[in-house]
Amino acid sequence: MPTVIVTGSAGLIGSESVHFFAQLGFNVVGIDNDMRSFFFGQNASTLWNRNLLKDKYGERYKHYDLDIRDRESIENIFKEYSSDIALIIHTAAQPSHDWAANDPHTDFTVNANGTLVLLEATRQYSPNSVFVFTSTNKVYGDTPNYLPLQELETRWEIDPSHKYSIGIDESMTIDNSKHSLFGASKVAADILVQEYGKYFDMKTVSFRGGCLTGPAHSGAKLHGFLAYLMKCTISSEPYTIFGYEGKQVRDNIHSYDLVNSFYHFYQNPRCGEVYNIGGSRHSNCSMLEAISICEDISGKKLQYTYTDNNRSGDHIWYISDVTKFQSHFPEWQYKYDLRGILEELYAAQVVRVSTGGASAS
């Protein structure tokens, strides 16, 4: 069977990709050095997930404990598998805009330089493979905050007559806005992925995700909105809402639904493509609405405090318009809605709390 290379393979989207393609019979090569624990502390470590993958798939999953910035080591992997490589799924990243401000060099080299290393290795050793990149809606900076928004009882909403009323599409500019340094490093990577597709005629795609979530998420204070929120609700850890009266809105997509979109693209790829991908109008919530559902599912009250100091460049309202992707791949559809996502998160977090870090996934 062909080989799939997955970077960040022990993380949320990476591990979902390993499960998805290993179960289809592909050989999977995972690259992950648990940088998440470096970014967010040992409680965010993904080692439990790496071990789960190795135990579950045996010879079908080969793990490399490598940094994607290590050009020589990455190129050696691509040389070894070369023409057997059918697909690269690049999920490894520094994912927090708060963290990036404290160490811009690490943020940029991981997100931008690491992506360049992988793209060039692909071009040199497996140019016919499909390259999927998990980008972010932060490439649009804070431009969404200047849309005509209305404050409702539990959320902010866009004017129903606006062209983005069903969600933000790929026509939104990425220029002249505050991105956060994380957003800027992801813009660089996003543009590189597009350019390798258009300049070198490679089958590349940037998926600009909303909030990505699922039961394998090692949620932390600085990254992993719904997973961390559910964790705090269950364990009675204090939680802080930053600004906008807790009415800021995000769309949320389950890791399975996202990886399934990767699979559809892999089957009929394009060169240098871009898609907004997220929960869309199908699965979205405000902070207050998410808290209410978490409390309902868990039967516990979240211990939270509120501060008026919103995170710099943070979105007040962001819902993805996935119309473009659905028009190209009409057979793709959602499996999970918001309630289903949170019920899975609850079940997984209960197991992880009771077993000291293991997962039910």
The tokens describing 208, both together, are: 């600009």
Q: What is the mean pLDDT of residues 312-317?
A: 86
User: What is the pLDDT confidence band of residue 224, given thresholds at 50, 70 and 90?
Assistant: low
What is each CA distance from 145 to 223, 226, 244, 315, 318, in whole angstroms? 21, 21, 11, 6, 9
pLDDT at 218: 59
Q: CA-to-CA distance for 66 and 80, rounded, in angstroms?
A: 15
User: pLDDT above 70 covers what percent of the chain?
Assistant: 95
Parallel, antiparallel, or unpaired for β 3-7 and 27-31? parallel
- Phi-psi category of residue 18: left, alpha or beta, with phi > 0 → left and psi -120 to 50 → alpha: alpha
The distance from CA 186 to its chain's CA centroid, rounded to whole angstroms, is 12
Q: What is the mean pLDDT of residues 35-62?
A: 90
Q: How many CA atoms lie within 13 A of 144 on its CB side?
A: 28
From the number of C-beta atoms within 10 Å of its C-beta (0-12, 13-18, 19+), residue 288 rates as middle
Q: CA-to-CA distance for 160 and 149, rounded, in angstroms?
A: 9
Q: How many domains does the chain have?
A: 1
In this model, does residue 255 exceed pLDDT 80? yes
Residue 320 is classified by DSSP as B
Query: Is residue 13 in some structural domain?
Result: yes
Which tens digit of pLDDT belongs to each residue from 63-109?
999 999 999 999 999 999 999 999 999 999 998 888 999 999 999 99
**Quick one: angle between helices 287-298 and 225-235, nearest 10?**
40
Query: Is residue 219 in some structural domain?
Result: yes
DSSP, collapsed to helix, strand or coil, labels residue 190 as: helix
Helices (H) and strands (E) in the chain, counts: 13, 15
**Quick one: angle between helices 338-355 and 225-235, nearest 10?**
50
Parallel, antiparallel, or unpaired for β 203-209 and 156-158? unpaired
Q: What is the mean pLDDT of residues 275-282?
A: 98
Handedness of CA 72, 209, 235, 297 (dihedral sign): negative
Residue 73 is classified by DSSP as H
Q: What is the CATH number of the domain that holds 245?
A: 3.40.50.720
DSSP, collapsed to helix, strand or coil, labels residue 309 as: coil
Which tens digit of pLDDT belongs to each residue from 178-213?
999 999 999 999 999 999 999 999 999 999 999 999
Residue 333 is classified by DSSP as -
Query: Is residue 360 in some structural domain?
Result: no
DSSP, collapsed to helix, strand or coil, labels residue 79 as: helix
Query: Is residue 330 in some structural domain?
Result: yes
Query: Is residue 79 in some structural domain?
Result: yes
Query: Is residue 361 in some structural domain?
Result: no
The residue among 191, 15, 20 whose CA lies nearest residue 115 is: 191
Query: Is residue 335 in some structural domain?
Result: yes
In this model, does residue 355 exceed pLDDT 80? no
Domain encompassing residue 328: 3-355
Query: Is residue 314 in some structural domain?
Result: yes
